[in-house]
Structure 1
Amino acid sequence: MASDEPVPSARRTELLERAYRYALEHGLAELSLRPLAAAIGSSPRVLLYLFGSKDGLVRALLARARTEEIALLDGLRDRAGQRPIGLETAADQLWTWLAAPARRPLLTLWVEGYSRSLLGSDGPWAGFAAASVDDWLTVLAATQAPGERATAPGEQHRTLVLAILRGALLDLLATGDEQRTTAAVQAQLAALRPTRSRKASRPTTAESPRR
């Protein structure tokens, strides 16, 4: 069955990519069509024709930002699909990606979309935050062992990991202190590692000192 969504034109795709680069530098909160159009070699009339409205353009930009996040998560999902790598290992890889200086503009844009989504249910921001949470929790679940992911503690575990990553990311974006935030993330992930990995280092009953 044919999709109801029109196939994007080459011009729309080109201008969306240019607008996305503009948004990474300037943000979306005060986005105005006239300076945006001038910066990307277009006009407000063309942008409105291609995207329907300013909200339509913002929605397209948010979707474009989400594709980079999804690309990372899909890569992790593929590896986890072969053999679950474990929640803490996955989180460590995610943090390495999040903390890279080159991704600060993208993640600042993501935080802007996330926070605006929390302020109201209407407009282009609607559902952005909830969809982001679902994306991350779904992939984090795939990194867990099958016997863990379907349990309530397993769900709590990945929710906590997501909270650690998101909180540290907000701190990093605010301060730029990568060393401190990375150390904190690593300490928290080490504390969350399965107890079975720590039991191996404990003395057995036979090795325990006699009373």
Structure 2
Amino acid sequence: MQTRKETLVDELVEYMLVNGLSNVSLRPLAEALGTSARLLIYHFESKEGLLTEVLERMQTRLRQSFGTMLERGSGSSERPLKQFWDWAIAARNFPYLRLLYELQILAAQNPESYGQYLQQNASNWSELIAMALPENERTPAMVTLVGAVFDGLFLELMSTGDRKRTTLAIHHFIKLVDDARETSRVTHKKSAKASAN
């Protein structure tokens, strides 16, 4: 059974999905949830504490969903980045990702309050990205590149609403990576053959 605090976090997520971050101050939030600012302070200590809890709940839900998607698609020939992009832009998931990015931007503007959360979050997503990559490509640079491409294109989608162009860009990036893999494989094969002669 959920605690009152856990229930409040779920209600806050639902409220922010509908209303965004426009009224992220305790009194309007409390009023919208049918509670009091005093109760929110009791459970979360501050607005920053409240937002950190919401961020963590969103991250946990999304990481679990991403992990499940990777498990289901493990036999698929489709690239994990494409699978995740298609999942992220689906109508049922897009509002959650959009809210997550809005919250991330707010947290990044206040590193003194959210620094620990931001570091932990980056680490958690890096681990998931690494799991999705072929073993020989699980380098910090490649993990960072894949994460940055997704982040950049998702922010572009949030800004422009242009799903077609951003989806084509994801496909183009995947093709560039696949082409680089093939070139590396052929070069390695030639080099091994030359060494054997």
**Equivalent in the alignment of 2:36:** 43
Is 2:137 the partner of 1:137? no
The answer on whether the counterparts of 2:58 and 2:96 sit within 8 Å (CA) in structure 1 is: yes
| Bigger helix fraction | 2
Q: How does 1:27-176 map to 2 (within 5 A)?
A: 27-28=20-21, 30-76=23-69, 78=71, 89-123=79-113, 125-149=114-138, 154-176=139-161
Hey, which bits of structure 1, 4+ residues long, moved more than 6 A? 198-201
Is 2:166 the partner of 1:185? no
Distance 1:25 1:169 in 2: 19
How many correspondences in the alignment?
187
Instruction: Kindly name which structure, 1 or 2, has the bigger radius of gyration based on alpha carbons.
Output: 1
* Percent of aligned positions that are identical: 30
TM normalised by structure 2 equals 0.78
The answer on whether the counterparts of 1:114 and 1:128 sit within 8 Å (CA) in structure 2 is: no
**Structure 1: runs of 5 or more not aligned:** 1-7, 202-211
TM normalised by structure 1 equals 0.74
SS at match of 2:115: coil
The answer on whether the counterparts of 1:104 and 1:173 sit within 8 Å (CA) in structure 2 is: no
**Equivalent in the alignment of 2:195:** none
The answer on whether the counterparts of 2:153 and 2:166 sit within 8 Å (CA) in structure 1 is: yes
Task: Report how far residue 76 of structure 1 moved.
Answer: 4.7
The answer on whether the counterparts of 1:137 and 1:159 sit within 8 Å (CA) in structure 2 is: yes
Higher relative contact order (CA 8 A, sep 6+): 1
CA RMSD of aligned residues (A): 3.1
Change (3 A) 1:196 1:36: closer
Distance 2:52 2:108 in 1: 15
Change (3 A) 1:122 1:113: same
**Structure 2: runs of 5 or more not aligned:** 187-197
Task: Report how far residue 104 of structure 1 moved.
Answer: 3.1
SS at match of 2:15: helix
